[in-house]
Structure 1
Amino acid sequence: MIVTAIGASYLVLAAGTAAAVVDIASPAPVDVAAALASASAGTGVSGAGAVSASAHASASASPSASPSPSPSPSPKSTVIGSVKDGIHSGDLRYFLLPPPDGPSSVQGDPDGNKESQSDVVKEYGGSSDVKSALSQLGFKGGAQRTYQDSTMGANVSIELLQFDSSGDADNWMQGFQLNGSGWTSFSIPGESGATAREKNADNLDSLIGVYAEGDTFYQITVYGTQTLPHSDLANLMTAEHGRLAHG
């Protein structure tokens, strides 16, 4: 496991509340290196893989060979949700982008993790100011999923926080910021209201984007040991926006 702190913060902007910056711990990323090595070994590109593939083809052609067992189908998620006029109903986890490499690439529950107000307060450092801001903005619930993407060679974490209204979600986004030095900003094509930052330090490249759609704020973090193209985050931000907008 690679353990790191992304270094995000929340600036409380609620009326009548003193401004305060509190730390937010990043999700513990999963180790992509082993997964990528395993995926590469299974492609049949290497010599050993080619021999294995050839032997399998020969066995399949033989009349006496036993047929290969059919792969077990992946369990189908029962999480459902719907959206109308920017209001999200049902299980908020339904609106998390599905992991491209399937449930096995997910850290924890493949359907995602539900987050209560106390979970979010703890995540943002445990400050009473954060708890007060969540209450004033009508926090309804959160959802989060962390997975590894073998195509990107990186870890992805997506978090959704639902509020009473689109205005409340926008207010929460305005209070979100990144602390520490070394962060540089970049734009997300087609998402002019989104905020995106990158930090490359200590052999870890981190891309973070935040935006809101309807009553839901979303944060996407992409991080790995190699330099990541901004398009990796941009594509995820656009896809998540579409998921929240249309279900």
Structure 2
Amino acid sequence: MPEPENEGATAVPPAPAAPAVVPEAAAAPAAAPRQAPRRLPRAVGVALATAGLLAVTAASAAVTVAVGKPAARPATAAPAPSKAAASASATASATPSAAPVPVPTAAPAEPAPASTVKGTVSGGRHEGDLRYFLLPIPAGGESYGPVDGVTMTDDDVAAVFGKQDGIMDILKSYGYKGGATRTYRTADGKAEVTVTLLKFGSTAMAGDFVRNYKIKSMDPFDIDGDQGGRGYLKTPKQQAYTGSMTGISSQGDVQYTIDVDVKGTPDKALLNELMKRQREWLTTGG
């Protein structure tokens, strides 16, 4: 089972003005969503410095270990018929047989309906449905909740930061316009990935948000293939517990966060690849 966590946060002021500290919010367990984000990101402290200089704390979230799907049972070869059985079969074939009974065949499965979510990108500006820009689920992956992802309400976004007073004002000081998220399990069942996108007023504002977004109590590392991105690693005390990684970066007017939970010590290469692919998707729009 995952380790319990309970970290606090401190402000990271970009200006000499005295910060006003918002009390740390009580941790709330995540609920399985149907029409809302499945869970909150990492149970760690997050500090944001803005024009208001308010400190915020991410809500605690329980993390589960993904269980792999059972392996397919190997096919076994049918035993060769005995001489007696072969002789009986030959005798039976020499006599008239009843008309064969037609065996119904299963109708081919209908293809999954095509997604109607659309979006466009030009000059770093992302238009249309923000869910369109969520990193596509890899082959064999299984989505938790709607396959297209979820459009986040203000309450959903505020919950990511503990629903503290003034958090939406902080985000709006960066020109916040909307959010989207999706969680899926990888095909091998070993990792759970959550991608969260927040759209801001401009490329500069999204970049400022990333620079002022700090995660405490996790070890930082550079993201290969995503210039300007930052990664954070939480190694479990025991390999039976869940290890966690978080990557944060921005492309154009969208800031993206990718959380990865795995059993044992996470492999940074997985987060590096996911961050690189998400950046490319936001850059080209597919």
Would you call these one fold, judging by a TM-score over 0.5? yes
Deviation for aligned residue 1:90: 0.4
Deviation for aligned residue 1:3: 9.6
**Residue 234 of structure 2: aligned partner:** 199
Query: 1:138-158: per-residue Cα shift (whole Å, max 9, x none)?
Result: 111000000000237100000
Q: Gapped runs of 5+ residues in structure 2?
A: 6-41, 79-100
Query: 1:208-238: per-residue Cα shift (whole Å, max 9, x none)?
Result: 1000000000000111113321111111100
Q: Contact (CA 8 Å) 2:64, 2:242: kept in 1 or not? A: no
* SS of alignment partner, residue 50 of structure 1: coil
Segments of 4+ in structure 1 off by > 4 A? Answer: 1-5, 28-31, 63-66
Residue type of the alignment partner of 1:144: T
2-structure distance, mates of 1:187, 1:115: 28
**Residue 223 of structure 2: aligned partner:** 188
Deviation for aligned residue 1:117: 2.5
Deviation for aligned residue 1:29: 5.3
Query: 1:68-123: per-residue Cα shift (whole Å, max 9, x none)?
Result: 432331221110000000000000000011212457x1111111011123321122
2:214 is the counterpart of 1:177 = yes
Sort the Cα spacing of 1:30 and 1:77 in 2 relative to 1 into closer, same or farther, 3 A. farther
Q: Contact (CA 8 Å) 1:8, 1:177: kept in 2 or not? A: no
Count of residue correspondences: 225
Correspondence for 2:194 among 143, 146, 157? 157
Deviation for aligned residue 1:67: 3.6
1-structure distance, mates of 2:112, 2:172: 39
Q: Contact (CA 8 Å) 1:10, 1:176: kept in 2 or not? A: yes
Deviation for aligned residue 1:184: 1.7
Identity %: 30
Q: Any residues of structure 2 matched to 1:10-159 within 5 Å, and which?
A: 10-15=46-51, 17-26=52-61, 32-33=66-67, 36-38=68-70, 40=71, 42=72, 46=73, 49-51=74-76, 66-101=104-139, 105-151=142-188, 153-159=190-196
Q: How high is the TM-score relative to the length of structure 1?
A: 0.81
Q: Gapped runs of 5+ residues in structure 1?
A: 56-62
Q: How high is the TM-score relative to the length of structure 2?
A: 0.71
1-structure distance, mates of 2:115, 2:205: 30
Task: Specify which structure has the higher proportion of strand.
Answer: 1
Query: Which of 1 and 2 has greater Rg?
Result: 2
Q: Contact (CA 8 Å) 1:7, 1:179: kept in 2 or not? A: no
2-structure distance, mates of 1:29, 1:73: 33
